Amino acid sequence: MIKFIRYLVIGSVLLGFVLPVDSDMFTWTDKDGIRHFSNISPPRDADNASILGREIQDQITSDKQFKVIKVYDGDSLLVQGLDLTFKIRMVGIDAPETGGRSNPGQPYSKKAHLYLSRLVKNRSVTLKSYGLGGYNRILAEVFSGGANLNLEMVSMGLAEVYQGSRPKNFDAAPYLAAQARAQKSRIGMWSQGSAYKSPRQWRKENPRN
């Protein structure tokens, strides 16, 4: 059984980007005879899974759009394109946490999830990559119809500017300005006033089991 992927490094932006993958890329054929390529570990029942050679990986390029196939919450997606599947963490923002089975999550977490889902429903997106983040997700700004959806989530008060370390080449200025406007107008989650708790603080208080 192939071990779960550990690293993925994206060297260039995804607007006509070259995708040099420094780690394992997996390929397998499902029961319907369809061949899959992914940086995400293959299904448990993929007995025929194998690792693509580096020489093949270096040939993977794209100037195409990606189809959003799943929205996990207010700041993470699953996209497909070029027969590849990628988990995307929307760089520079942090949406309210959705919690789990025994935890209802933060206020506005469901609204953030729903709003992002509506933004990308039945649409393709383009991406600007900033490398790999935690949980093997590509950090990226997501664009649809020319609009920066990361910035849109902050403007609508459904995400804050990420408080942790951000990629050095990421320009946080427009995000901070959008957050200041949303806070001043008490839009979305900022309507909670002093009761507001950042996703970062919520995660510290509610660690994953």
- pLDDT value for 17: 36
- pLDDT value for 37: 63
- pLDDT value for 122: 81
CATH topology of domain 17-205: OB fold (Dihydrolipoamide Acetyltransferase, E2P) (2.40.50)
Convert the pLDDT of each residue in 10-23 to its tens digit: 333 333 333 333 44
- pLDDT value for 4: 32
- pLDDT value for 134: 73
This prediction's pTM: 0.73
- pLDDT value for 15: 35
- pLDDT value for 7: 31
- pLDDT value for 24: 58
Residue numbers of the chain with a pLDDT score lower than 70: 1-26, 33-41, 47, 50-64, 82-83, 136, 209
- pLDDT value for 35: 65
Give residue 93's Cα distance to chain centre: 10
- pLDDT value for 127: 84
- pLDDT value for 139: 84
